[in-house]
Structure 1
Amino acid sequence: MSDQGYQLVNNGYDPDNQVPSFDDSSDIDQTFYIHLAHGTQETTRDDTINETIHYIYAGGKKAHDDVIAGKTFTQNGTKDLVTGDITWRPVTSQQFASVKSPTISGYTPDYTVVPAVTVNYGDPDINTTVTYTADQQVATIVYVDRTTGQTLNTLMEHGASDTTIPYQSANDLKTYEGQGYVLDDNQYDPTTTPKFDDDSNVDQTYYIYLKHGTKNVSETPTVHETIHYVYADGTTAAKDVTAQKQFSRQGTEDLVTKQITWQPVASQQFASVKSPTITGYTPDQLSIPAIMVNYNDGDVVRRVTYTPAELQATIKYIDDNTGAVLQTDNGTGKYQDPIKFANDVNTQIKDYEGQGYTLVSNNFAGQKYQADNAKNTF
């Protein structure tokens, strides 16, 4: 029966291949016992348990390579060669060590450490998933007036790592352009909108530089000079003399502040003007002096006033018989005023007639002062 897995323990029938004989007792039957035991055989079996840690982003995309580890068990047992049953002996447990989750910049795992786990022979494989959620990032967009160095506006945007920053500058740039600004350097979204980075320790800062737009401007004002010639009573003595100087200046207008920076303009000069001669009158200015004028000066108005000249008159009384000058009288007056002497002429003639003189001639007949004193001599 060894082919059935039994092992002989005790052969009480024919232990040494000696077949027994029947006894001679008719009252009791003979009974023989052969004792058999189940044969056994040592056996082993192996089992491998795998631990797999998956690293993914919240959306399911792979974040990092899997970490895989395995534990192999060998179990010893005894097989009953008759029944085929195996009695397995206990196997010592094994432990998967804890695993620190890898650092991914800008993301936070739901498990910073996958804890250690104890497994036994026959346990199922272990699958653990570590999910990384994007950190909240901050991006600052600063508008700077490069002309003045002043900050025009500061914007702050919040969002998850590696996602597109929602702010777009186009509308604000259009507004600034309407205020006279010109884009100088867009370091934020010159062609495409940037994304939030994955550095949670440092906020992103972007600068958009604007400068003041300008345009060329010019002006051509004219400064006039007018010289009035008048008598003392204000009536016109001579025709006005007029002159003008035209200026042209160039400038640059700041389209933001509306201020204009003008280039210097050279002064100009009105030349001196000699006052016209008017018979019998004296001007208070023989000539109007030259004068310098600058851009944007007001018009120049100047006045020359004529007053009658101070004239001299002389009358002589002559004795024609002797040629002697009997008397000389003088007078002073203004042009066209009646000539008057200290002694009335007619009275003086009568006085001489009373002295025995006879009037031969008299060329004074109450004339008025002439501009030439020679004509005021009698």
Structure 2
Amino acid sequence: ASDSVDGLTHDSKDNVQTIIYTPNAEKANVTYIDDTTGKKLSTEDLTGNYGTTDSYQTGNTIKNYENQGYKLVSDSYPATGVVYDQDGVVKSYEVHLTHGTTQTSENQTVNETIHYVYKNGGKAADDYQATPLNFTRTVTTDKVTGDKSYGDWVAANGTSFAAVTSPAIKGYTPDQAEIGSQTVSGDSSDFDFTVVYAKNAPTITTESKTINETIHYVYKDGSKAAADHVAKPVEFTRQVSTDAVTGDKTYGPWSPAQSFAAVTSPELKGYTADKAQIDKQTVNGDSKDLEFTVTYTKTPVAGGTGLNQPGKPGNGTDTGNPSSNQPGNPFQPSNATNNGVINTSTNTGSKVNNGAVNSPELPQTGENNSQSQTMSFIGILLAMFGSLLGFLGIKKRRND
């Protein structure tokens, strides 16, 4: 503005004033915005005279952000700089940036292992190792923050492990009959299982044993004399414990001892048994079958006849015969004269004859039946001959 002048006349000199005009200062700003987060990163305030062009360029700032991992999205600031051509107007510009990223591929392998052990910790069988399952996915890394984001896993060779039956081990039982199927993803940890085997209890069974007693009755030559005696068998039992692993057997005690009763040997007429009876026999589960043989031999025949009988006193009719009381006199009459071979109580020979004539004999193998009959006949003749001599002796004494 010019200065005011007072009191001017026609004699006053010219009043000359110079007015200088200066340009107005104008304003502008540039805002840098993070489009990833939606936040303002920074603002650059600019000033300049009206009508001038600002020398500021956004390139250096953008490059600095790019070095931090940002990526330019848009820049509204004039490439040649802002022109302050609007008095009193603040010009605003925006530079939009986003986070730069990198992409990589990530691999994951998932394993399944099954251990087989005894209860005491020892190894029972080789480990089961499943075929590993492989997965891949894309990993996106934020270049500004370093944060990672992950894509979905993609299976390369399957998404599950099949069920696995626990191996059979003789004498042992596993606590898990099988390991079931397992669903797997790339996020899964390795699968690790342990199957424990416990020894089975021994098998308990009952063992039986039968003991027999047989008695054979035979003649001396070995032929059968009578039917065998077969006793009612006796039975014993005991428990047997069989080890589930080794198969070794442990035996309990046999049931109490038992007895076979005494057996009287049967009587066979004309024969004598070498054992009158088989005594009572006590047996137990460790005993073997009992077998006995009773042998029969022919009862011996007495050898004397009427000729060999001792002399007996006379009947008193003639006592002068010096030989009348002489023992063994074949001509001596006796009171046995009339009963000869029949009186078994006084005549030994008659026992033989009686047995031979009146007692039926059991057949015997190996002996000649005709010989037996001949001997019996000779015995009878001798008895008759003795009786005849006695009779003739009596008659002679009477005649004398």
TM-score where L is the length of structure 1: 0.56
Give the whole-Å Cα distance in 2 for the aligned partners of 1:209 and 1:116.
59
Q: In structure 2, do the counterparts of structure 1 residues 151 and 233 end up closer, same or farther at CA, with 3 Å as the change threshold?
A: same
3-state DSSP of counterpart to 1:176:
helix
Give the whole-Å Cα distance in 1 for the aligned partners of 2:185 and 2:95.
43
Q: Which residue of 2 aligns with 1:242?
A: 129
Q: Which residue of 1 aligns with 2:334?
A: none
Q: Is residue 146 of structure 1 aligned with residue 35 of structure 2?
A: yes
Gaps of 5+ in 1: 1-110, 362-378
Give the whole-Å Cα distance in 1 for the aligned partners of 2:87 and 2:117.
89
Superposed displacement of residue 317, structure 1: 3.1
Give the whole-Å Cα distance in 1 for the aligned partners of 2:33 and 2:258.
108
Provide Cα deviations, 1:107-150, integer angstroms capped at 9, x if missing partner. Answer: xxxx4x99999x999x9999986543211111111000112110
TM-score where L is the length of structure 2: 0.53
Instruction: Output aligned runs, 1:81-230, within 5 Å.
Output: 111=1, 131-189=20-78, 191-200=79-88, 202-230=89-117
Provide Cα deviations, 1:77-134, integer angstroms capped at 9, x if missing partner. Answer: xxxxxxxxxxxxxxxxxxxxxxxxxxxxxxxxxx4x99999x999x999998654321
Kindly tell me the number of residue pairs found equivalent between the two proteins: 244
Give the whole-Å Cα distance in 1 for the aligned partners of 2:49 and 2:22.
9
Provide Cα deviations, 1:291-325, integer angstroms capped at 9, x if missing partner. Answer: 12332332211111122222313242322435664
3-state DSSP of counterpart to 1:194:
coil
Q: Which amino acid aligns with 1:217?
A: T
Superposed displacement of residue 227, structure 1: 0.8
Superposed displacement of residue 157, structure 1: 1.6
Q: Is residue 356 of structure 1 aligned with residue 283 of structure 2?
A: yes
Q: Is residue 260 of structure 1 aligned with residue 187 of structure 2?
A: no
Q: Which amino acid aligns with 2:103?
A: N
Q: Which amino acid aligns with 2:141?
A: E
Q: Greater shift after overlay, 247-256 or 136-145?
A: 247-256
Q: Which residue of 2 aligns with 1:100?
A: none
The one of 205, 209, 214 equivalent to 1:314 is 205
3-state DSSP of counterpart to 1:188:
coil
Q: Which residue of 2 aligns with 1:326?
A: 236
Q: Is the helix fraction higher in 1 or 2?
A: 2
Q: Which amino acid aligns with 1:209?
A: H
Superposed displacement of residue 168, structure 1: 2.1
Q: Is residue 340 of structure 1 aligned with residue 268 of structure 2?
A: no
Give the whole-Å Cα distance in 2 for the aligned partners of 1:350 and 1:326.
8
Q: Rg bigger for which structure?
A: 2
Q: In structure 2, do the counterparts of structure 1 residues 349 and 127 end up closer, same or farther at CA, with 3 Å as the change threshold?
A: same
The one of 267, 276, 294 equivalent to 2:167 is 276
Greater than 6 Å deviation, 4+ residue runs = 113-117, 123-129
The one of 79, 101, 119 equivalent to 1:232 is 119
Give the whole-Å Cα distance in 2 for the aligned partners of 1:323 and 1:115.
164
Percent same amino acid among aligned pairs? 32
Give the whole-Å Cα distance in 1 for the aligned partners of 2:120 and 2:154.
39
Q: In structure 2, do the counterparts of structure 1 residues 137 and 317 end up closer, same or farther at CA, with 3 Å as the change threshold?
A: same
Q: Which residue of 1 aligns with 2:311?
A: none
Instruction: Output aligned runs, 1:4-15, within 5 Å.
Output: none
